[in-house]
Chain A
Amino acid sequence: MNKNRLYFLIPLLIIILSGAVLLSLGVGEMHLSIEMLPGIFANKDSMEYGVLSQIRIPRTLLAISIGGSLSLAGVILQGIYHNPLVEPYTLGISGGASLGITLVIVTGINSLGMITLPASGFTGALVTIFLVYFLGFRRGSVSIGRMLLTGVMISFISSSLILFLMSVTEVENIHGIVFWTMGSLNESNSYMVNGMVAVSIISLAISYMFTAPLNALRLGNNMARHLGINSQQVITLLFILTSLLTGTCIAVAGVIGFVGLIIPHVSRIIAGTDYRYLLIVSFLCGSIFLLLCDILARTIIFPNELPIGVITGITGGITFLIIVSQPKLKIKIN
């Protein structure tokens, strides 16, 4: 990949992201244009300022951090598993999280107040991570196939259990379950938003400690070993990092599919396979994608709102099909 093109690409993505941020801040029931923004920020008592600070800014920050995080998790997982179909949710984490949330909604436990549901989602994700880890890393060796199968099976079992719970619970609970499993960036708790932003930035920084191992793993686990990389250790650490990251995303915003599958592929096509560039490009592309999807979700059936998972699934899936059908663009993965 031409290095000059990459130096040009990252600033370009940041400009696109800034544009999307302005759009996201402006679009909605109350239209705000770019020229109005400085004035609004100067007058903190205005209603416009309230809309921005209470609703649109948190939502924009969430879209950026969750889109970036899911995409980052996806690009790392595809790299360590040498498998183009792996995404954060393939490992069963979304299934476990959804099951945790469903259980709490159905049983009506509400002991932790506002953070009951996020906490139960995160717990579900953690339980799944441990299951996949212990079943997949058994006897000290990573078996990629076993791990993927374990994850897929946990997903199936969870979704069956969720359907079971939905069929025995009251109708009013079903709406909450469905909404959660389709994802939403509508989070009013500022601690959750700030926490998510911090987690995504820290994860991106940590992932940059692994660029040399990730690059070496492109040549296969054995070759990476010959190059002095402890593949086993690196894969374990990255698995834990991406799992926790995914678990956090689900806890905050529910299940938002496709971002972690499609954006890494798109990023490979535009940025090549060198993880030193790929990680940041993937993060930025994920942010842009989810932010644009959220704008669509908010506006398409205005004044109602679509679950963001529906938008990411449809737009992402179609975009991906178009990309895959281009013979010139080879999907670059092992």
Chain B
Amino acid sequence: MSFFVVDNLSCGYKEGFMVNEISLNLPKGAFAGIIGGNGSGKSTIFKGITGELSLLKGTIFMDDIDILSLSVKERSKRIAVVSQFIDKYPMTAEEYVLMGRTPFRKAFQFFDTPEDREEANYFLELTGISHLKNKLITQLSGGEQQMVALACALTQKPSLLLLDEPTSHLDITYQSKIMNLLHRLNEQEGLTVIMIIHDLNLAGEYCNHLTLIKDGRIVIQGEPKDVISSQIINNVYNTSVYVVTNPISGKPAIFQVSEKWLQIKN
């Protein structure tokens, strides 16, 4: 039941950083997280998948279609990307979300069709920002901007959604809002999600598949309970953590332990 299969991917920058031998095999409806320290190669993998960087080696198949053989336009109907920040260009939230209809535009289509507006409004509603639709995105908070970017990506009607640290600069209200929404879309609509995520607690709580990266290579991948263990996280991040089980969800959660208490304990 493979849906998204990355096989032995290598890509990177000339005479610089590279990611090597990246393989992923995700079923439809996966909620996958890519975790790892700063500079470990998470974003480079994303750039390889989105075509921003050309691959030196490896293949990427989605639904048995080689996505690298697709045109940029065809790819954008299958894969949508939410970047960490959105470019602050003075346009309204509705205009921004309507940009998500770009892949569906006909060559000489000048005006937005009623269908375009319907789709955009549906996702503005779904992401809970329809009351902001006439505001300029430059006037929105970071969390609201993230929701606009997500609504735009969903308007592309992708079967795979890539998110680059969607929660990293948000307060816990927006963190939960965005993760719960993605969870619902994942479970109800079968949207496959892959996100780069720094917050290991959120990763453990929401994702059903985690890939841990270090120095451009996969250290381990699998279910959160297998990836987030004290020993692995301590080694990869070179930080003292203590892993417990979330009493409500049964998912792994981590505590960071300060140097002082570590000394007292020992």
Q: Which of A184-242 contact B (CB under 8 A)?
A: 208-209, 211-212, 215-216, 218-220, 222-223, 225-230
Q: Which of B74, B75, B80, B89 lies at the interface centre, i.e. has the most chain A CB atoms within 10 A of its CB?
A: B89
Task: Check if A332 is an interface residue, CB within 8 A of chain B.
Answer: yes
Contact B103 A219 (CB under 8 A): no
- C-alpha gap A276/B79 in the complex (Å): 26
Find the B residue at minimum CB distance from A225. B72
A residues in contact with B71, CB < 8 Å: 230
Given the known A-B contacts A226-B50, A330-B90, are A215 and B80 also in contact in the complex, defined by CB atoms under 8 Å?
Answer: no
Task: Check if A53 is an interface residue, CB within 8 A of chain B.
Answer: no
CB distance from B94 to the nearest CB of A (A): 11
The one of B73, B90, B110 in contact with A273, judged by C-beta atoms closer than 8 angstroms, is B90
The one of A209, A215, A228, A276 in contact with B103, judged by C-beta atoms closer than 8 angstroms, is A228
Interface 1/0 per residue, B70-114 and A, CB below 8 Å:
011111110111010011011100011001101101011111000
What is the size, in residues, of chain A's interface with B at 8 Å between Cβ atoms? 24
A residues in contact with B79, CB < 8 Å: 226
Task: Check if A48 is an interface residue, CB within 8 A of chain B.
Answer: no
B residues in contact with A220, CB < 8 Å: 87
Interface 1/0 per residue, B132-150 and A, CB below 8 Å:
0000000000000000000
Given the known A-B contacts A209-B107, A212-B105, are A227 and B76 also in contact in the complex, defined by CB atoms under 8 Å?
Answer: yes
- C-alpha gap A272/B89 in the complex (Å): 11
Task: Check if A334 is an interface residue, CB within 8 A of chain B.
Answer: yes
B residues in contact with A225, CB < 8 Å: 50-52, 72, 76
- C-alpha gap A225/B86 in the complex (Å): 14
Find the A residue at minimum CB distance from B112. A276
Find the B residue at minimum CB distance from A215. B99
Q: Which of B74, B100, B105, B110 lies at the interface centre, i.e. has the most chain A CB atoms within 10 A of its CB?
A: B105
B residues in contact with A211, CB < 8 Å: 110
Total A-B Cβ pairs within 8 A: 72
Task: Check if B192 is an interface residue, CB within 8 A of chain A.
Answer: no
Contact B90 A332 (CB under 8 A): yes
Contact A227 B52 (CB under 8 A): no
Given the known A-B contacts A212-B105, A274-B95, A276-B110, are A226 and B90 also in contact in the complex, defined by CB atoms under 8 Å?
Answer: no
- C-alpha gap A297/B205 in the complex (Å): 72
CB distance from B147 to the nearest CB of A (A): 16
Task: Check if B156 is an interface residue, CB within 8 A of chain A.
Answer: yes
Given the known A-B contacts A212-B105, A225-B52, A227-B100, are A334 and B87 also in contact in the complex, defined by CB atoms under 8 Å?
Answer: yes
B residues in contact with A228, CB < 8 Å: 72-77, 102-103, 156
Given the known A-B contacts A209-B108, A215-B99, A218-B91, are A229 and B86 also in contact in the complex, defined by CB atoms under 8 Å?
Answer: no
- C-alpha gap A228/B81 in the complex (Å): 11
CB distance from B198 to the nearest CB of A (A): 20
- C-alpha gap A220/B52 in the complex (Å): 13
- C-alpha gap A215/B81 in the complex (Å): 17
B residues in contact with A223, CB < 8 Å: 81, 83, 86-87
B residues in contact with A334, CB < 8 Å: 87, 89
Contact B99 A227 (CB under 8 A): yes
- C-alpha gap A158/B71 in the complex (Å): 41
Q: Which of A215, A216, A219 lies at the interface centre, i.e. has the most chain B CB atoms within 10 A of its CB?
A: A219
- C-alpha gap A212/B83 in the complex (Å): 20
The one of B52, B76, B86, B110 in contact with A219, judged by C-beta atoms closer than 8 angstroms, is B86
- C-alpha gap A212/B71 in the complex (Å): 17
Interface 1/0 per residue, A99-124 and B, CB below 8 Å:
00000000000000000000000000
The one of A212, A216, A226 in contact with B80, judged by C-beta atoms closer than 8 angstroms, is A226
Find the A residue at minimum CB distance from B51. A225
A residues in contact with B73, CB < 8 Å: 228-230
- C-alpha gap A209/B106 in the complex (Å): 10
Contact A216 B99 (CB under 8 A): yes
Find the B residue at minimum CB distance from A213. B102
The one of A229, A274, A330 in contact with B91, judged by C-beta atoms closer than 8 angstroms, is A274
- C-alpha gap A126/B86 in the complex (Å): 38
CB distance from A213 to the nearest CB of B (A): 8
Find the B residue at minimum CB distance from A232. B72
- C-alpha gap A305/B10 in the complex (Å): 66
- C-alpha gap A220/B89 in the complex (Å): 9
- C-alpha gap A65/B224 in the complex (Å): 64
CB distance from B49 to the nearest CB of A (A): 11
Contact A227 B87 (CB under 8 A): no
CB distance from B221 to the nearest CB of A (A): 25
Contact B50 A219 (CB under 8 A): no
Contact A222 B83 (CB under 8 A): yes
Residue positions of B touching A, CB distance < 8 A: 50-52, 71-77, 79-81, 83, 86-87, 89-91, 95-96, 99-100, 102-103, 105, 107-111, 153, 156
A-B contact pairs, 13 of them (CB 8 A): A218-B87, A218-B91, A219-B86, A219-B87, A222-B83, A225-B52, A225-B76, A229-B72, A230-B73, A273-B89, A273-B91, A274-B91, A334-B87
Closest 10 CB pairs of A and B: A228-B76, A228-B103, A228-B73, A226-B81, A227-B102, A220-B87, A230-B72, A212-B105, A218-B89, A219-B87
